[in-house]
């Protein structure tokens, strides 16, 4: 990828990827209702531009989702911020993310939670994310290539499970791997195909669902692409 000597400069960015541009993005996030200072500070510090192809990096700090190849997208900064706020609200120790994608949401979480596991089903994305997170020394994160619908049984139970792809129904293995009192945060499609950010809270064997805002995510798919 890049030599270690180039790294500090690359991470800091210049022009459209500079600290000023990141600060403007974060100011917009705050205007749009993101309140948690830990989320704003972390997103101001971390290089979203390194999670995109070079041809797109100048757009990294626009509040928009962007393509990362294989028909997948890097979520809009506002969405990453909102999901991270929801994760932190649960004050978790152990977090599972389904849909590593570029690894940007993974990085933000890795800076803010003690232990993080993240699963991706497309090998090319998994490998690139692994490389980036190693470079950025995101040691809290463990990554795996697998179908996330099965969860990560050896590391369960989790205080929070976060899906960054939209399911039609909640995968049973994920509900089973949720700690008592834990929450699952996911886009969920209704019968008309409209997607809702949904929070599911486990109390014993009861799962209480709360519908939050309307969202737009790529679908949760089965199987692994090597
Ligand atoms: N948080 C990511 C979002 C990427 S889009 C980012 O900001 O970059 C959602 C990702 O979920 C895609 O990479 C897609 O391949 C992945 N995905 C979809 N179904 C999956 C499954 N069953 N298991 C693991 N990953 C899945």
User: pLDDT, tens digit, for every residue of 75-89?
Assistant: 999 999 999 999 999
DSSP class of 169 = S
Query: Does residue 73's CB lie within 6 angstroms of at least one atom of ligand 1?
Result: yes
- Report all structural domains of the chain as residue ranges with CATH numbers, in order of start: 65-214 (3.40.50.150)
Contact (CB, 8 A) for 118 and 125: no
Residue whose CA is closest, atom 23 of ligand 1? 148
User: pLDDT, tens digit, for every residue of 131-179?
Assistant: 999 999 999 999 999 999 999 999 999 999 999 999 999 999 999 999 9
User: pLDDT, tens digit, for every residue of 189-217?
Assistant: 999 999 999 999 999 999 999 999 999 99
Length of the chain: 226
Query: Does residue 218's CB lie within 6 angstroms of at least one atom of ligand 1?
Result: yes
SS3 of residue 80 by DSSP: helix
Q: Could you write out the DSSP letters of every residue in 28-66?
A: HHHHTT---HHHHHHHHHS-GGGGS-GGGGGGTTSSS-E
Pairing between strand 115-120 and 141-145? Answer: parallel
Query: Does residue 151's CB lie within 6 angstroms of at least one atom of ligand 1?
Result: no
Q: What is the pLDDT of residue 23?
A: 97
Structure token pair of residue 77: 């900064």
Q: Is the pTM of this model over 0.85?
A: yes
Characterise 91 by phi-psi region: left (phi > 0), alpha (psi -120 to 50), beta (else): left
């Amino acid at each position: 990828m890049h030599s270690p000597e180039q790294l500090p400069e690359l991470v800091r960015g210049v022009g459209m990827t500079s600290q000023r541009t990141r600060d403007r993005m974060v100011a917009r996030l705050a205007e749009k209702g993101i309140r948690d200072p830990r989320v704003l500070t972390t997103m101001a510090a971390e290089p979203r531009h390194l999670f995109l192809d070079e041809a797109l990096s100048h757009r990294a700090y626009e509040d928009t989702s962007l393509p990362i190849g294989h028909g997948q997208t890097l979520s809009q900064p506002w969405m990453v911020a909102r999901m991270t706020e929801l994760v932190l609200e649960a004050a978790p120790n152990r977090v599972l993310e389904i849909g590593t994608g570029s690894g940007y949401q993974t990085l933000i979480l890795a800076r803010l939670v003690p232990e993080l596991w993240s699963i991706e089903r497309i090998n090319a994305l998994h490998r690139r994310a692994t490389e980036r997170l190693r470079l950025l020394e995101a040691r809290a994160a463990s990554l795996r290539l697998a179908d996330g619908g099965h969860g990560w049984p050896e590391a369960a139970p989790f205080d929070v499970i976060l899906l960054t792809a939209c399911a039609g129904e909640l995968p049973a293995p994920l509900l089973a791997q949720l700690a008592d009192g834990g929450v699952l945060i996911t886009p969920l499609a209704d019968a008309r195909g409209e997607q809702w950010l949904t929070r599911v809270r486990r109390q014993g064997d009861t799962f209480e669902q709360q519908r939050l805002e309307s969202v737009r995510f790529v679908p949760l798919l089965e199987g692994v692409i090597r």
